[in-house]
Amino acid sequence: MVGRAGYAARGAVYVMVGWLSMVAAFGGGAAAADKQTALQTISQLPLGTVLLGLVAAGLFGYAAWSLVRALFDPERHGHDAKGLFARAGFGIAGLSYAGLALGAARFALGSGSPGRGSDAETQDWTAQLLQAPFGPPLVLAVGATMLGVAGIEFVRAYKASFLKELDLGSLDAQPRQWVERLGRMGLVARGVVFALIGIFLIQASRQQDAGAAVGLAGALNKLAEQPYGEILLGVVAAGLVMYGLFSFVEARYGRLTRA
């Protein structure tokens, strides 16, 4: 139950991030959104404080479920290199969403904001890593890991392997096709974002400049700066909305354990 609520909360955040970024792409002037911006927007809706509290609870649930996946491996990823890489990703996601959930909870209770923007957070920990022994190689390794995660997302989208993680036996053929489309497009969009974050982390390592690093919002804004940037941003933002909707599907039909 906790895991399903977490997937739903993650879906709400991604739908909001994608929608706000689509508005930025085609509405003109505004910058792309990140998860903190999405939480601020949720708080401004009718019954926003209640909704934000529910999202915060769900995000805590998703963080907890991610850490369970990392530590206890209920999905049987195993202890080989591929399995350990996947479980490490779950652990990182768990810590990241725990921080986001804490910021959302404080904001819902009227204490401060939902947290600093994704670019500022990324640049902060990048600066700390750069100052550590072997700092630039460490940042390079994180950037390369992000590229690896992006590659995994692209492969999952191409093979539609995520369907094995869902129990869709009660759905007809057409709804299953829509689930597959949502998953493919959503994973490709996430892969693009992770790839851009990885590329700019590598650039920050080479330049030894934390200011070159970007988070979610920065990655989307980099897309907007390219030729045909409005179209690129709009397509990826739409993909993030689809990933959010796919998260709702995971909340309903996900296999949270494997035999």
Residues 6+ away with beta carbon under 8 Å from 51: 42, 43, 45
* 8 A C-beta contact, residue 218 and residue 146: no
pLDDT at 238: 97
Structure tokens at 66: 């991610």
Give the pLDDT of residue 259. 40
Which tens digits make up the pLDDT trace of 161-180? 999 999 999 999 999 999 99
pLDDT value for 29: 57
Judge contact between 111 and 59, C-beta under 8 A: no
14: number of CA atoms within 13 Å, CB side? 26
pTM for this structure?
A: 0.91
pLDDT, position 254: 92
Q: What is the DSSP secondary-structure string of the chain?
A: -HHHHHHHHHHHHHHHHHHHHHHHHHHSSPPPP-HHHHHHHHHTSTTHHHHHHHHHHHHHHHHHHHHHHHHH-TT---SSHHHHHHHHHHHHHHHHHHHHHHHHHHHHTTSS-S-S-HHHHHHHHHHHHHHSTTHHHHHHHHHHHHHHHHHHHHHHHHHTGGGGGB--TTS-HHHHHHHHHHHHHHHHHHHHHHHHHHHHHHHHHHHT-GGG---HHHHHHHHHTSTTHHHHHHHHHHHHHHHHHHHHHHHHHB--S--
Q: Which residues of the chain have pLDDT under 50?
A: 259
Neighbours of 86 (CB within 10 A): 19
Residues facing residue 166 across a β-bridge: 254
Quick check: 97 and 62 in contact, CB under 8 A? yes
